Amino acid sequence: MADATYVLAIDQGTTSTRAIVFDHSGQIVETGQLEHEQIFPKAGWVEHDPQEIWRNTREVVGMALTRANITHEHIAAVGITNQRETTVVWDKNTGEPVYNAIVWQDTRTQKIVEELGGSEGADKYKAKVGLPLATYFSGPKVKWILDNVDGAREKAEAGDLLFGNTDAWLVWNMTGGTDGGRHITDVTNASRTMLMNLDSLTWNEDIAADMGIPMSMLPEIRSSSEVYGEGRRGGMVPGVPIAGILGDQQAATFGQACFEVGMAKNTYGTGNFMLINTGTEAVPSENGLLTTVAYKIGDNAPIYALEGSIAVTGSLVQWFRDNLGIISSAPEIEDLAKTVEDNGGAYFVPAFSGLFAPYWKADARGALVGLTRYVNKGHIARAVLEATAFQTREVNDAMAADSGVQLTELKVDGGMVANETLMQFQADILGVDVVRPKVAETTALGAAYAAGIAVGYWQGEQDVIDNWAEGKRWTPQMDDAERERTYRLWKKAVTKTFDWVDDDVS
Ligand code: ADP
């Protein structure tokens, strides 16, 4: 590996899989990207085909290496980042998934979640795992598969089935699959299953038993930065160390160099995810946030975070494009929003799969309120964008209450941060500067750094800090009275979505 000069990151996201070749200064050399099918079998159900994801992964790695005109011999290490919570269960003897991957947004486990909570309710396991019982997390999704797929429970009990988020699915395949594949995951992915003790970073056998999940299905929990294995012979990266795994939001936190207590980032993708570093202490939330692992480098102590997860932000723009057809591409929403001065009194609360942070209300559904004869499509486009910024303000307030830290600026990334109108409105509504880095692909970059640090390609966090550079900054321009007036109306709009689902309404 003497002439290895790059690190490869695989970003297995909700809508697509990307491979990115990074150089030593943290710059992108080349990329490959393929979207995969979003499967919606019923209202509230969202699935992916794990085999399509594995095929796409091989293809995008081939694309990125070919476009960079290099081979695996020039790659020092591979890092993986992934959509978290999305659940794959497969047969270790055949390598075949027993069911499609159940995606993080899927709400089919609502009944399971209520039954598990029983009289103790949603916070039953929170002190141990940092999470409220919700459809979002992997454990209940595994239970659904074992309960509903013919023969799955018998096979699981016989030790034939394996579970993982998509990181584990890819690593198992990349390291050989049925021929000696490693069944491992990292602490950040494990912290999204509802099955890992936050303090000891080990599986909680009692919770697994409550969910009827045999321990033999669970991957070994490893740090986020260490050599887990090597690419299989005959694969795209034979012999190359696979050396970093971080869930996508944790990877972005790492790539944004949020290494000190109180540093935060917000990622604007399909949903929005804001994380604030709380150091070596796992801070319990009293304001609707999740306590999660931010990262763990090799044998170092784990670093924790508080997280505000918002289910629907960029996907509301997609819905506006695909379900209403008012625009034909996501960036066009900005042109439409700019045809008007303000939202015209309209507020759009996209509680399509209930409300995540800080409410955690599964029975909420979307609402567009404040409509008058005056409102036109420009106002609604603006309300769509503003929904993202208002939801972020709510999470920000919850973080300040839980951590005692008032942000002085917010680092942002993700697909929606290309939208300058949204970023300005975000600064206005938060009342603090919003800062976008030069390299906006912070998720893939974070995974690359985790892998590169493990093999000595980078020395440690200081390299990440040194390579981080500011790209653009937005400063608040709205006066305080207007900020509080419009935010008050938003909060009123949110209350209109509560308690919509009935026994005969999903
Ligand atoms: P993910 O990693 O979750 O798949 P990305 O970070 O790639 O998502 O962001 C894609 C999301 O951003 C999509 O939901 C899309 O609707 C939204 N988006 C992309 N460009 C814009 C834009 N210019 N304005 C508003 N939303 C946008």
Q: String of b and e for 198-213 (b: at least 16 CB within 10 Å)?
A: beebebbeebbebbeb
Please tell me the distance between residue 419's alpha carbon and the centre of ligand 1 in angstroms. 9
Of the pLDDT bands very low, low, confident and very high (cuts 50, 70, 90), residue 3 is low
Pocket of ligand 1 (CB under 6 A): 13-15, 269-270, 314-315, 317-318, 330-331, 333-334, 414-416, 418-419
Give the annotated binding-site residues for ADP: 14, 18, 270, 314, 415, 419
Sorting pLDDT into bands at 50, 70 and 90, what band is 2?
A: very low
Among 17, 256, 317, 391, the mutation site with the greatest number of ligand 1 atoms within 8 A of its Cβ is 317
Pick the residue whose CA is nearest to atom 1 on ligand 1.
269
For the CA atoms of the chain, what is the radius of gyration? 22
Binding site as annotated, residues? 14-16, 18, 84-85, 136, 248-249, 270, 314, 318, 415, 419
Ligand 1 binding pocket mutation candidate from 248, 270, 426 (most atoms within 8 A of CB): 270
∠ CA 74-79-80, rounded to 5°: 135
Hey, whose CA ends up nearest to atom 13 of ligand 1? 314
- The set of residues, in sequence order, having a beta carbon less than 8 Å from that of 352 and lying 6+ positions away, is 311, 312, 315, 316, 319, 365, 366
Give the pairing of strands 347-349 and 367-369. antiparallel
Mean pLDDT across 412-430: 96
Distance (Å) from CA 317 to ligand 1 centroid: 8
Residue 403: pLDDT band by 50, 70, 90 thresholds?
A: confident
Q: What residue owns the CA closest to ligand 1's atom 27?
A: 416
Cα of 17 from ligand 1 centre, angstroms: 14
Least confident among 88-92, 119-123, 424-428 = 119-123
Cα 269 to middle of ligand 1, angstroms: 5
Q: What is the DSSP letter of 355?
A: B
Is pLDDT at 8 greater than 90 in this prediction? yes
Average pLDDT over the chain, rounded to an integer: 94
Banded model confidence at residue 356, pLDDT cuts 50, 70, 90: confident
| pLDDT per position as a tens digit, 214-269 | 999 999 999 999 999 999 999 999 999 999 999 999 999 999 999 988 889 999 99
Query: In a 10 Å sphere around its CB, with 0-12 CB exposed, 13-18 middle and 19+ buried, how is residue 342 labelled?
Result: middle
Structure token pair of residue 179:
């021929």
C-alpha–C-alpha distance, residues 81 and 201, integer Å: 19
For residue 321, give the ligand 1 atom closest to its CA.
16
**270 CA distance to ligand 1 middle (Å):** 6
pLDDT in tens, 122-163: 899 999 999 999 898 999 999 999 999 999 999 999 999 999
Mean per-residue pLDDT, 305-332: 94
Name the closest-CA residue to atom 15, ligand 1: 314
Selection from 42, 52, 136 nearest residue 97 by Cα: 52
Q: What one-letter code names the amino acid at 444?
A: A
Q: Which residues are annotated as a binding site for glycerol?
A: 84-85, 136, 248-249
Instruction: Give the amino acid at 1.
Output: M
Q: Which residue is closest in CA terms to ligand 1's atom 14?
A: 314
Report which protein residue has its CA nearest ligand 1's atom 17: 314
Residue having the nearest C-alpha atom to atom 18 of ligand 1: 416
Average pLDDT over residues 57-65: 97
Task: Give the position, in ligand 1's atom list, of the atom nearest the Cα of 317.
Answer: 16
pLDDT of 503 over the 80 cut: no
**CA 312 to centroid of ligand 1, rounded, Å:** 11
Predicted structure pTM score: 0.89
Instruction: Choose among 135, 185, 431: nearest CA to 309.
Output: 135
Q: Residue 262, CB half-sphere, CA atoms under 13 Å: how many?
A: 6
Taking residue 376's Cβ as centre, other Cβ atoms within 10 Å add up to: 13
Closest atom, ligand 1, to C-alpha of 16 = 4
What is the residue whose two structure tokens read 């074992």? Answer: 146
